Amino acid sequence: MQQRSSGVLVPIFSLPSKYGIGTLGKEAYNFIDFLSDSKQSYWQILPIMQTGFGNSPYSATSSLAGNPFFIDFDLLRDEGFLNESDYAFLSTDDNPRRVDYQKQFDYKFKILRLACNNFLSTNLWELNQFVDDNDFFLDDYAIFYALKEKFKGASFNYWDKEFKLTDKDAIEKFKRDNLDMINFYKTVQCLFSRQWFALKKYANNKGIKIIGDTPIYSAYDSSEVWAHSKNFCLDENKDPIDVSGCPPDGYSAKGQLWGTPVYNYKHLKENNYHFFIKKFTYLLKLYDVLRIDHFRGFDSFYAIPYGSPDATNGRWVNAPGIELFDKLKKELGAMNIIAEDLGFLTDSVRNLLKETGFPGMKVMEFAFNAYDKGNTEYLPHTYTENTVAYLGTHDNDTFMGWINSISDADREYAIEYLKLKNKDEYYKEALEVLFKSKSNLVITQFQDLLGTGSIGRMNVPSTLNDSNWSYRLLPNELDDKVVDFLKDLTIKTNRAK
């Protein structure tokens, strides 16, 4: 990201589809064509891993296994692994603006079982190769999900003790008795992988690089916490000791209680950070650029005693910092990483970012506080080249939703600074200011290309509801007018690929 460039953020689940959720199929290829036509260089996505309760891509049941909901049935049909009659009944999309997660839970795996059986009848060799190439996470994932099926989807802390605590003899017997079920979950990942890398190849051939995303922590109910519990702060019963979150601040009087286990860095260091080396090796193969969520947690992290009702009782704990990234660089070489350096920042966090050389993030919506105009860190005229600039992120309101909901004083300040004139097109005028900044890379959420109001907000942190992680594009919504606007802006600000 040494040259001026730009891109668009569209999660896979937000792509149009008549089957209730965006997939790796035709509409994903169409979106890449849109990026190419509008002179973009990057497609940013949210994590594509298999999600659990709440559907958050930042709370996945595996930090490496792809989300089966994104597997495209039409592509499987074209390859002869499904008949259209196997899934045509899903084609009624009652609300194309929102992901229908219930439909995915009810039907996706049933149809994938048909596809996997047909795939294995002709492509068993491909599965065997895939298993050999990905044994560092695949076996754990497949056994974990087969056990979840046995225990009707329950979190692993509710499993029978021998399975919760990964008793070796019990696990080996389960594997022998459930080979077909375990192989099914491995085959699902094989199908996901072949569709993902075909899509990535198409993007790269069009000159589009994909920016992936990874949360810093693993969900408690995940295959890696279950299978490699010593990497996390758990007790002898695999119950968390400390969990993650953020301290109280001006936005939240009681802080944020994320609830994921924090890392046991003493154990990780004793094992030469093998866990992180394997994880980052795979993720940097999966994507062209990797965004690390909550990067500041690698400098120091906020640990909250497990069972606390909120985040008020936490404490800051030092993390490895540059030692970890020096180890990763030694093992992996240069890494294309974006550091999400938002939140409570200290000089130590800023120094870590500087030492790694990774670009940090600038969010314009954070800039406008009429009572603190001396806080210029997020004002576009202060951005430096080695940064990635956004109007807002998936955790913020859309730009039009934001500017219509902030205080009158803050709105007047933003309008004055950004020189906004046309109320209906504030988003276009704000994007022009952002694109003119010195940041080498500007990323625009698709909602902000369309001037969508708060209805299009992707997520409200620390809430569980049907609106989070569900907003979608409609077919052909990114039309020629949007192409022309984005292309002209990109060329005008010297960001065209």
Q: 374 pLDDT band (50/70/90 cuts)?
A: low
Task: Give the pLDDT mean for 229-234.
Answer: 98
**What DSSP string describes 38-103?**
TT--EEE----BPB-TT--TTSBS-SSSB-GGG--HHHHHHTTS--GGGTGGG---S-TTB--HHH
Give the span between the Cα atoms of 211 and 294, in whole angstroms. 16
Nearest in space to 83 (alpha carbons), one of 117, 105, 113, 114: 114
Give the span between the Cα atoms of 357 and 31, in whole angstroms. 31
pLDDT of 190 above 80: yes
pLDDT (0 to 100) of residue 52: 84
User: How far from the centroid of its chain's Cα atoms is residue 271's Cα?
Assistant: 27
Q: In the chain, pLDDT over 70 holds for what percent of residues?
A: 98
Element (H, E) at 361: strand 360-363
Nearest in space to 175 (alpha carbons), one of 134, 123, 151, 140: 140
Give the span between the Cα atoms of 246 and 244, in whole angstroms. 7
Q: How confident is the model over 105-141, as pLDDT tens digits?
A: 999 999 999 999 999 999 999 999 999 999 999 999 9
Q: Residues with catalytic annotation?
A: 293, 340, 395
Q: 252 pLDDT band (50/70/90 cuts)?
A: confident
Classify strands 441-445 and 209-214 as parallel, antiparallel or unpaired: unpaired
Give me the residue label for tokens 């956004």: 390
Task: Say if CB 113 and CB 184 are below 8 A apart.
Answer: yes
Task: Give the pLDDT mean for 228-250.
Answer: 94
User: How far from the centroid of its chain's Cα atoms is residue 283's Cα?
Assistant: 12
Question: 76-80 — which CB contacts under 8 Å span 24+ positions?
Answer: 76/115, 76/191, 80/118
Give the span between the Cα atoms of 299 and 223, in whole angstroms. 25
Give the span between the Cα atoms of 222 and 63, in whole angstroms. 8
Q: 251 pLDDT band (50/70/90 cuts)?
A: low
Q: How confident is the model over 306-328, as pLDDT tens digits?
A: 999 999 999 999 999 999 999 99
Q: How confident is the model over 376-432, as pLDDT tens digits?
A: 899 999 999 999 999 999 999 999 999 999 999 999 999 999 999 999 999 999 999
∠ CA 476-481-483, nearest 5°, is 80
State both tokens at 450. Answer: 């369309």
pLDDT (0 to 100) of residue 249: 78
Q: How confident is the model over 51-104, as pLDDT tens digits?
A: 988 899 999 999 999 999 999 999 999 999 999 999 999 988 789 999 999 999
Task: Give the pLDDT mean for 473-490.
Answer: 97
Residues 6+ apart with CB under 8 A from 270: none
pLDDT of 372 above 70: no
Q: How confident is the model over 428-442, as pLDDT tens digits?
A: 999 999 999 999 999
Classify strands 441-445 and 5-9 as parallel, antiparallel or unpaired: parallel
The rounded mean pLDDT for the chain is 96
